[in-house]
Amino acid sequence: MDPLIMKILVLVAGVLALGFVGYLTVTILRESEGNEKMREISHAIRQGAMAFLRREFITLAVFTVVIFIILAVFIEPKPLVGIAYVCGTVTSALAGWLGMNIATKANARTAQAAIGSWAKGLKIAFSSGAVMGFCVVGLGLLGLSIVAFIWNDSHVWLGFAFGASSVALFLRAGGGIFTKSADVGADLVGKVEKGIPEDDPRNPAVIADNVGDNVGDVAGMGSDLYESYVSAIAASMVLGVLTLGMVKGMYLPLLLSAAGIVASIIGALSVRPKDIVGANFEKQVVRAHATMNTGVYVSNILMIIASFFIIKGFVGELGLFWALISGLIAGFLIGQATEYFTSAQHGPAKKIAKSAESGAAVTIIEGMATGMMSTVIPVILVVIATVLAYIFGGLMGIAIAAMGMLINLGMLLAMDCYGPIADNSAGIAQMAGLGDEVRERCEALDAVGNTTAALGKGFAIASAALASLAWLATYFKVANIEIASLTNVGVIAGVLIGGMLTFIFSALAMRGVGDGSFAIVKEVRRQFREIKGLMEGEAKPDYVACVDIATKMALKSMILPGILVLVVPLILGFTLGPESVAGLLVGALVTGFIMAVMMANAGGAWDNAKKYIESGALGGKGSDAHKAAVIGDTVGDPFKDTAGPSLNILIKLVGKVAVIFGPVFIVLITL
Amino acid sequence: MDPLIMKILVLVAGVLALGFVGYLTVTILRESEGNEKMREISHAIRQGAMAFLRREFITLAVFTVVIFIILAVFIEPKPLVGIAYVCGTVTSALAGWLGMNIATKANARTAQAAIGSWAKGLKIAFSSGAVMGFCVVGLGLLGLSIVAFIWNDSHVWLGFAFGASSVALFLRAGGGIFTKSADVGADLVGKVEKGIPEDDPRNPAVIADNVGDNVGDVAGMGSDLYESYVSAIAASMVLGVLTLGMVKGMYLPLLLSAAGIVASIIGALSVRPKDIVGANFEKQVVRAHATMNTGVYVSNILMIIASFFIIKGFVGELGLFWALISGLIAGFLIGQATEYFTSAQHGPAKKIAKSAESGAAVTIIEGMATGMMSTVIPVILVVIATVLAYIFGGLMGIAIAAMGMLINLGMLLAMDCYGPIADNSAGIAQMAGLGDEVRERCEALDAVGNTTAALGKGFAIASAALASLAWLATYFKVANIEIASLTNVGVIAGVLIGGMLTFIFSALAMRGVGDGSFAIVKEVRRQFREIKGLMEGEAKPDYVACVDIATKMALKSMILPGILVLVVPLILGFTLGPESVAGLLVGALVTGFIMAVMMANAGGAWDNAKKYIESGALGGKGSDAHKAAVIGDTVGDPFKDTAGPSLNILIKLVGKVAVIFGPVFIVLITL
């Protein structure tokens, strides 16, 4: 095929994604935002979310400038890697901003639509999730391909992915600390000290708490997967150029991604919820899940067919096709395993609920054991996918497998980001007093959202692991490493230090939540003390102050982990050599991947065990078992929403630093 | 030096250790066991401990026969590896039996001695700890050296270490499950349901609980370190033969160990507690600790001098001397770091105690974060020791560094095993009503024991890590692996699966505690129901039945982890090749080492945070903070006493399986 035509096809797919985003945005904004109270709440959440993004982006901008200067001064080709880095940062930040903007505009509209029709509520929430999803794939593909079309140099492409990583550090790791600080801080003063209900608008931290849902699960999740998506494509391109030559190697991954966007759009369009007359809660949940699954199946099948023809046409033989399929299937099965281990319908969460009858300690131990056991299937699936992909397609096969897992990201992310919007809509329905029927509908939407969010977490971790493996392969090529043998003590040292990084990172993230929630508690107490009439509902609290404090604390808590992840690979590379850095990546990968799965699934299972008891089992709300389950859930929150997700960032970011600075290690060593 | 003279020196040192054991035993048994009640309690504990060992050893015997047959049929030189394996099993089991026997005879004697003099109580408890310590080094060195003197074949030596590993699996991993099952089971019915105090003799599980202390911290700790000790020496010999030739390579490690025994005996003899007139609790504790530390310093200094001359004489240059010193110093510093992170005198445990004021969930999170942060120093120290040892002495240097850490094991283990004996003596003093003064003396002894036990755990993990690294080096030599590169996807697969094994192992160990304690609860309830007059103190409970059930359950819970650890390396070796097994060892090592440190230190810190509150801080016993701290401690118990220690076994045992079966992988692959 003519390169010009391929260029056009890729760009068209990217534009198509953004066009689809525009179409979805128009359909969402056409809907009514409901009564004044609903608009007010939604507006406050949006205002808070934007305040969070503003502060994050200011710090990110400073960070970006610093890194840009370092790259522009030290990394060849100068200053192109630096420029590509900035492009990666800007596009990812833009995707996060657009997604958050719409998500916070859709929450009240979802609740309002649910007044008329359950199906319409589902449609709006899903559509606004899709805005995030297609912003990510559209801007990701457009950004990376334009960089690649302008600069025909693989080092530059890698710079773009590094930029995406930086945003993920801020939005995912920082967002994770924010969301739990706000959550815990709001509860500690509101529920415990003042005895006011969970979502009470008098609580100055209530908006920060609601913002947190969007920050963690929309912007954070989006930037995390933006990073994986771009990394997998960039790694495939770099390895592809080495395997298939410049033209085929560069265009094959881009065209596959373009096809993925089309398949995902068709998938998303085939999510057509219908109202079920007289359906109960359970039926609505099952139906909502099935409706969205249709989209996944459609896009998966389309993509399997499309990739068969694309790879057949490009390469002639089908090795890379099988590599792509192995990633795609592994991603799907990991989602299923995640659901089994976390959903309240299955054994593990029920067993944790049962153990809650013996008290909090047993609940914690059982949850930890469950989380640990739940790592087995994801690890085995990633191993099988990696080994098969390597057998079928060599190192490039591994990168293509990572792409396979992420190829329908538009559709999958729509499902993931649907969750927090449904969650917010249920909150708004309650706060605005929309009545039992509407509330139940919104809660049915939310219940599905919990499942898709859990699936999304498992999927995000697995794709981070596979993307990191692809990036490891890229590192070997870029740093010109033929061998990084475990017989080399420097490699072993790297593995151990990489493993240690995971534990420092998790500990600091969890500590960050502690410090952040403490700061929130102080601020909330201050407002109750100083703002007259607040407790009586006569004065308004300063919501933005709480958002601001939580953001500041989150940023502060990220300084040390951020520095560590940037500096440790460099120190190792310059002292023990580039092979030791390979060890570091592997050490961080194995511990980070497994710990992330463990924490996410333990957290999810504790959460659902609590909900299972709250649904009336084992004595229901207020029983001793419930109290124990609440403690489990509270431990699980920073596990699944802060420490676990931040490990995704760790394992990807160390890889980026290694790849970008890899050539420098070699230069210095040969000096 | 003439080999015959060296042979004699080594054997004399081994016999000397056993002679010292005999001397200590006579001095201990000469003491009075106190009044009838004390004798009765002590007798019951001893009976229970022996019942545990009997059942463990029966299963171990079956296991040993099966493994012997496999080794005798498949592993060259046939059947010598099998025979050496049996020797390793028998000597380690014998050391465990002797140590437990004296430990359970010394508990009442310690309490009785404390009536007259605090110093005498300390002396007896320390002496009986030393019995375990010198049984381990004496039998270890004698067994291994006799095997080496008879069969001049390094493969046979490795078989001996494999045997030691099997015993450690049963006594350490199985013992860890036993001790916590009994502990939790006794508490759940006794304290919670029946409302009787902790150490009440009416509770049928009370003896099992006391037995558990000896099982975990005497027999388990002893067999764990027996394994590390023998592994480090055997690895040094194997690598030594390749580096320095048959005679020097074989005798250097043996002579160093012989010198270590002499240094340790002198160290142990220099532990001379003196009564302090009018000293308070705190002073006694500090003094007891200082007294034992004298022994450590004496033996360390002696050993540094001795190893200088031995290595200088053998090798001429001092590379291996520095390797040995780096291991010795790393071991010492890791002990200090462990103390900092777990002791109630320092920040971390106090911070956990403070967090207990915010409830159980915050306590758990803070404890987890503390455990995670506490991994940094041990990992860095092991990395530095390994890198230095390699620079100074190549692969053999790593094995010598592991030896350096373990060279004064006789003295160090005496300190570790002192703890449970002091603990038991305090229990007996309370149960037998020996009065406040005696009880306080015994509790001062116990308080020191808690610190030495925590140090011992950190030390056991670090030495397991270093011994495993030495064993990895041995695997490379035995399996003839020049390169196991991370660019090989099979190696990466191995690393991931090794990491996964750690999490399965931990999960199964913690589940084992759950199942075991449940079985104990059922049995205790049955006895209270069926034995008439038990609650009134008129009838005696069936203590042995509880011990028996806890042992059975512990053995049952070990079937799956035991099979996994034996089978997974074989499957990987036969499918993805011997390099993949190297990946497996590294993956298990990095995750197992770090998780073990995390769990041990989190557990220790929770324990001491609780004790800190119980000492009157933050509201003291019965406060809300105390309740939260108790939950933390209960979560920490299986962390530090079951899952954590069992990871020591995992990382060492996979290495053994790999080394023993390594040659077979190669044969099959070349077929």
pLDDT at site A514: 87
pLDDT at site B668: 66
Nearest by CB to B496, from A364, A383, A497: name it: A383
DSSP letter string, A329-380: HHHHHHHHHHHHHH-TTSHHHHHHHHHGGG-HHHHHHHHHHHHHHTTHHHHH
pLDDT at site B670: 62
The C-alpha of B287 sits at a distance from chain A's nearest C-alpha, in angstroms, of: 35
Decide: A120 and A114 in contact? Cβ < 8 Å.
yes
CB contact under 8 A, B469 and A492: yes
Q: Does residue B444 surpass a pLDDT of 90?
A: no
pLDDT single digits (tens) B366-398: 999 999 999 999 999 999 999 999 999 999 999
Q: Across residues B41-55, what is the average pLDDT?
A: 92
Specify the range with the lowest mean pLDDT, choosing from A418-422, B148-152, B588-592.
A418-422
| Distance, CA of B582 to CA of B658 (rounded, Å) | 8
Average pLDDT for chain A: 93
CB contact under 8 A, B485 and A490: no
Question: Which of A187, A239, A396, A489 should we substitute to test contact with B (largest number of B Cβ atoms within 10 Å)?
Answer: A489
Q: Across residues A364-382, what is the average pLDDT?
A: 96
CB contact under 8 A, A373 and B504: yes
pLDDT at site B453: 82
pLDDT single digits (tens) B390-430: 999 999 999 999 999 999 999 999 999 999 999 889 888 88
Decide: A230 and A140 in contact? Cβ < 8 Å.
yes
Q: Across residues B346-370, what is the average pLDDT?
A: 92
Q: Does residue A666 surpass a pLDDT of 90?
A: no
pLDDT at site A641: 92
Q: Which residues of B touch A370 (CB under 8 A)?
A: 507
Specify the range with the lowest mean pLDDT, choosing from A602-606, B98-102, B215-219, B370-374.
B215-219
pLDDT at site A448: 86
| Distance, CA of A99 to CA of A134 (rounded, Å) | 9
Pull the structure tokens for residue A617: 């089992």
- Beta-carbon neighbour count of residue A69 at 10 Å? 12
- Of residues A277 and B45, more confidently modeled: B45
Q: How far, in Å, are A406, B105, B446, B625 from residue B125 at the CA level?
A: 62, 10, 10, 34
pLDDT single digits (tens) B631-663: 999 999 999 999 999 999 999 999 999 999 988
- Percentage of residues in chain B with pLDDT exceeding 90? 77
Of the pLDDT bands very low, low, confident and very high (cuts 50, 70, 90), residue B210 is confident
pLDDT single digits (tens) B313-323: 999 999 999 99
Of the pLDDT bands very low, low, confident and very high (cuts 50, 70, 90), residue A189 is confident
Peptide bond into A77 cis (omega under 30): yes
Pull the structure tokens for residue A625: 């078992």
DSSP letter string, A22-91: HHHHHHHHHS---SHHHHHHHHHHHHHHHHHHHHHHHHHHHHHHHHHHHHHHHSSSTTHHHHHHHHHHHH
The C-alpha of B95 sits at a distance from chain A's nearest C-alpha, in angstroms, of: 33
Q: Across residues A371-388, what is the average pLDDT?
A: 97
Decide: A452 and A217 in contact? Cβ < 8 Å.
no
CB contact under 8 A, A493 and B594: no
pLDDT at site A344: 80
pLDDT at site A669: 63
Of the pLDDT bands very low, low, confident and very high (cuts 50, 70, 90), residue B452 is confident
CB contact under 8 A, B514 and A469: no
| Distance, CA of B9 to CA of B610 (rounded, Å) | 49
pLDDT at site B462: 93
**Is the ipTM, as predicted for this complex, more than 0.85?**
yes
Decide: A416 and A139 in contact? Cβ < 8 Å.
no
Peptide bond into B77 cis (omega under 30): yes
In the A/B pair of chains, how many CB contacts fall below 8 A? 198
Question: Which of A482, A503, A640 should we substitute to test contact with B (largest number of B Cβ atoms within 10 Å)?
Answer: A503
| Distance, CA of A260 to CA of A404 (rounded, Å) | 9
Q: Does residue B280 surpass a pLDDT of 80?
A: no
Q: Does residue B509 surpass a pLDDT of 70?
A: yes
Residue of B nearest to A384 (CA): B493
- Percentage of residues in chain B with pLDDT exceeding 70? 99
Nearest by CB to B387, from A379, A481, A489: name it: A489
pLDDT at site A670: 61
Specify the range with the lowest mean pLDDT, choosing from A287-296, A372-381, B154-163.
A287-296
Of the pLDDT bands very low, low, confident and very high (cuts 50, 70, 90), residue A192 is confident
Of the pLDDT bands very low, low, confident and very high (cuts 50, 70, 90), residue A276 is confident
Q: Does residue B258 surpass a pLDDT of 80?
A: yes
Residue of A nearest to B481 (CA): A487
Nearest by CB to A500, from B365, B375, B498: name it: B375
CB contact under 8 A, A373 and B188: no
pLDDT at site A403: 97
Residue of A nearest to B391 (CA): A489
pLDDT single digits (tens) A545-568: 999 999 999 999 999 999 999 999
The verdict on pTM exceeding 0.80 is: yes
Q: Which residues of B touch A486 (CB under 8 A)?
A: 472, 476, 484-486, 491, 582-583, 586
Residues B465, B468, B473, B474, Cα dihedral to 10°? 160
Q: Across residues A380-403, what is the average pLDDT?
A: 96
pLDDT at site A11: 98
Pull the structure tokens for residue B339: 């103390």
pLDDT single digits (tens) A81-105: 999 999 999 999 999 999 999 999 9
Q: Across residues A180-195, what is the average pLDDT?
A: 85
Specify the range with the lowest mean pLDDT, choosing from A439-453, B141-155, B209-223, B546-560.
A439-453
Q: Does residue B61 surpass a pLDDT of 90?
A: yes
| Distance, CA of A141 to CA of A261 (rounded, Å) | 9
